[in-house]
Amino acid sequence: MSYLVLARKWRPKDFSDTVGQEHVLQALVNALDSGRLHHAYLFTGTRGVGKTTIARILAKALNCENGVTSKPCGECSACVEIDEGRFVDLIEVDAASKTKVDDTRDLLDNVQYAPARGRYKVYLIDEVHMLSKSSFNALLKTLEEPPPHVKFLLATTDPQKLPATVLSRCLQFNLKRMTPRLICDRLTHICEAESIEAEVAALAMLSRAADGSMRDALSLLDQAIAYCGGKIEEHQVAMMLGTIDRDHVVRLLRLLADNDASGLIDTIRQIDEQFPNYARLLEDLARDLQRIAVYQIVGTCDSEDDMSEQEYAELSAALPATDVQLFYQIALMGRRDIHLAPDPRSGVEMTLLRMLAFRPADVSTMTGGATAPPGKRSAPVAEVEPAAKPAVRSAAMTPQAKTWSDPDWSQLVAGLGLSGAVRLLASNCAYLRREGNTLYLGLDPRSDSLLTKQRKDAMASRLSEHFGEALNVDITLGAESRETPVQQESRMTDERMEQARQTLEADPNVRAMKNMFGAEIKTETIELINPPQSD
- CB 18 within 8 Å of CB 25: yes
Evaluate if residue 385 carries a pLDDT over 50.
Answer: no
Q: Is 436 helix (H, G, I), strand (E, B) or coil?
A: coil
List pLDDT tens digits, range 42-91: 999 988 899 999 999 999 999 999 888 899 988 899 999 998 888 999 99
Cα 213 to Cα 49: distance, rounded to the nearest angstrom? 5
Fold of 6-174: Rossmann fold (3.40.50)
- Alpha carbons 155 and 41: distance in angstroms, whole number: 8
For the ranges 2-11, 90-99, 216-225, 444-453, the one whose mean pLDDT is highest:
216-225
- Kindly tell me if the per-residue pLDDT of 378 is higher than 50: no
Residue of 28, 20, 14 lying closest to 172 (CA atoms)? 28
What is the C-alpha R_g of the chain? 37
Measured in Å, how far apart are the chain's first and last C-alpha atoms?
Answer: 89
* Model confidence at 486: pLDDT above 60: yes
Residue by residue, DSSP assigns 61-92 as HHH-TT-S-SS--S-SHHHHHHHHT--TTEEE
Contact by Cβ (8 Å): 182, 20: yes
Length of the chain: 535
| Whole-angstrom distance, CA of residue 422 vs CA of residue 496 | 28
Class assignment of domain 398-482? alpha beta
The CATH code of the domain at 180-241 is 1.10.8.60
Please compute the mean of the pLDDT values over residues 361-384 and round it to a whole number.
41
Residue of 118, 138, 119 lying closest to 128 (CA atoms): 138
Give the separation between CA 526 and CA 187, rounded to whole angstroms: 51
H helix intervals, 198-306: 200-209, 214-228, 234-241, 246-257, 261-272, 278-298
**Mean pLDDT throughout 139-144?**
84
> 285 exposed, middle or buried (CB, 10 Å; 0-12, 13-18, 19+)?
buried
Rounded CA-CA distance 417/399 in Å is 13
pLDDT score recorded for residue 97: 79
Average pLDDT over residues 347-363: 84
Tell me the one-letter amino acid at 171: L
Residue pLDDT, tens place only, 388-408: 443 334 333 334 443 467 788
- What is the chain's mean pLDDT, rounded? 83
- The pLDDT confidence band at residue 31, using thresholds 50, 70 and 90, is very high
**Residue 154 Cα distances to 57, 127, 158, 355, 471, angstroms:** 14, 8, 12, 47, 89
Q: What angle is formed at CA 56 by the lines to CA 113 and CA 166, rounded to 5 degrees? A: 65
Contacts with 451 (C-beta within 8 Å, 6 or more apart), sequence order: 425, 443, 475, 477
pLDDT exceeds 90 at position 179: no
Give me the pLDDT at residue 121, please. 92
Q: What is the pLDDT of residues 295-315, one digit of tens each?
A: 888 877 765 555 667 788 888
**So what's the pLDDT on residue 100?**
75
Strand partners, 153: 41, 124
The residues spanned by each domain of the chain are 6-174, 180-241, 248-357, 398-482
pLDDT at 399: 40
Helix residue spans in 432-484 (DSSP H): 453-467
Instruction: Tell me what pLDDT residue 389 has.
Output: 41
Residues 6+ apart with CB under 8 A from 262: none
Is the model more confident about 516 or about 155? Answer: 155
Residues of the chain with pLDDT > 90, as a percent, come to: 32
Q: Is the pLDDT of residue 127 over 60?
A: yes
Summarize pLDDT for 463-484 with one digit per residue, the tens.
999 888 999 999 988 755 678 8
Dist. CA 186–CA 48, nearest whole Å: 14
DSSP assigned state of 13: S
Closest by CA position to 163, among listed 128, 123, 125, 124: 128
345 vs 335: CA distance, rounded Å: 12
Helix (H) or strand (E) run with residue 126 in it: strand 121-126
CB 259 within 8 A of CB 318: no
Kindly report which listed range (153-167, 460-474, 500-514) carries the lowest average pLDDT score: 500-514
Q: Which residues pair with 198 in a beta bridge?
A: 232
Mean pLDDT on 238-252: 79
HEC string for 130-147: HCCHHHHHHHHHHHHCCC
386-425 in b/e form (b: 16+ CB < 10 A) is: eeeeeebbeebeeeebeeeeebbbbbbbbbbebeeebbeb
Q: How confident is the model at residue 247 (pLDDT cuts 50, 70, 90)?
A: confident
**Residue 433 DSSP SS3:** strand
Per-residue pLDDT for 531 more than 60?
no
- Give the burial class of 306: count Cβ atoms within 10 A of its Cβ; 0-12 exposed, 13-18 middle, 19 or more buried: middle
Q: Of 86-100, 256-270, 357-371, which one has max mean pLDDT? A: 256-270
CA distances 138 to 131, 132, 342, Å, are 10, 10, 52
User: Residue 54's pLDDT is what?
Assistant: 94
Is residue 353 within 8 A of residue 267, CB to CB? The reply is no
Q: Which CATH number applies to 248-357?
A: 1.20.272.10
- CA–CA distance, 284 with 318 (Å, rounded to integer): 19
| Calpha distance 515→9 (Å, rounded) | 58
